[in-house]
Chains A and B, each alone.
Chain A
């Protein structure tokens, strides 16, 4: 079976840094993805990790530890528009087949 865990909700202040964690136990691993989803909209791709370590992309960074089944998404210099749900997804044995966590709703306050 597939088990992907994320916190349900987080709140942070504009300009701050927030870290969203994701732990996973899946039958097979071909990569981990983070998606952003604003209410009522489609998920959009943020980052991808397949090797251990940190991938940086502007204000967003994502980290992966395969041995620990752990990833996090780091958002710096938070802006109000970053208020959204953040979805962690693991690509299993079958390429392109994704299994999503429950999503973390991030509320950014002024």
Chain B
């Protein structure tokens, strides 16, 4: 299994600013992902964070709005840029295992409120 931590755990931000969320895994993992979870909703995949190359974004998400870094096999960041109240959500990172099946482990999430 993998233990994942995220910073910050929560933040309140002003419209038009940017916030960078950090995700740290306690072991090297091949795959890391970023999700968004609106209140009372399920998880929507934003992008796959690729080590050493650009992230792969899902439909509806773009690099200019959600730039992602993955400098090594244990760390990734997600930036929410030029925020608006619609970006208020919980952002979770996850790491893929390399066991017998491809389980994902999730971080505790970052609760973002944009005023």
- Chain A residues with CB under 8 Å of chain B are 30-31, 33, 41-45, 48, 50, 85, 87, 89, 91, 94-103
With both beta carbons as reference points, the residue of chain B lying nearest to A31 in the complex is identified as: B101
Which of under 10, 10 to 19, 20 to 34, or 35 or more describes the interface residues of B? 20 to 34
Closest-CB distance, B93 to chain A (whole angstroms): 10
Asked whether A48 and B107 contact (CB < 8 A) given A97-B48, A99-B45, A100-B44, the answer is: no
- Chain B residues with CB under 8 Å of chain A are 4, 30-31, 33, 41-45, 48, 92, 96, 101-109
Total contacts A-B at CB 8 Å? 55
Q: Is B106 touching A43 in the complex (CB atoms < 8 A)? A: yes
Q: Is B41 touching A103 in the complex (CB atoms < 8 A)? A: yes
With both beta carbons as reference points, the residue of chain A lying nearest to B93 in the complex is identified as: A42
Q: Is B108 touching A42 in the complex (CB atoms < 8 A)? A: yes
